[in-house]
Chains A and B, each alone.
Chain A
């Protein structure tokens, strides 16, 4: 069975630009969460979506937005990129809200902002 997939793998953007990251969850999983991981730190929670609705939001500015599609795939958008947005962006899926303690992570998208 395919795991969580993310695209692109790597991305280089310039300050002020916008970026869209994509995630496909494991088949049958209805919840998708997004995390930002800076080198040497734990993943920081950005969003959780379940059944196409936002169910959780971390302490990130409004420049960060996301959505979930009917097929449960998801996109994370970041506007007006800053140097500090450079990080590994991880997507994770879980069966449902109640099982969100057990999340399956994708390989991540490495975003570099110059």
Chain B
């Protein structure tokens, strides 16, 4: 199972919006409603921010939103804040009853 494809880095200024893509195949993202996103600030453990494509756990700001079209899922962060800096990972359940992560995207707030 190959890792899902994410851009290595994205950046934006405070207040702007950025979108991170996550491309898989028909064996994972394309056939799964169970795509999740994780935020990992430097030196910390990952934290769940989106699950089941577009749902936010309690406590996660509504600036974070998720969507999916075909084999590609997306995470959009609006109203960028300095505290949003870090690495972001997508994850998908697969038809092999396994899970697979994306390679990760480093978000820089300029």
Are A and B part of the same complex?
no
Instruction: Point out residues on A near B: beta carbons under 8 Å.
Output: none
Q: Which residues of B contact A (CB under 8 A)?
A: none
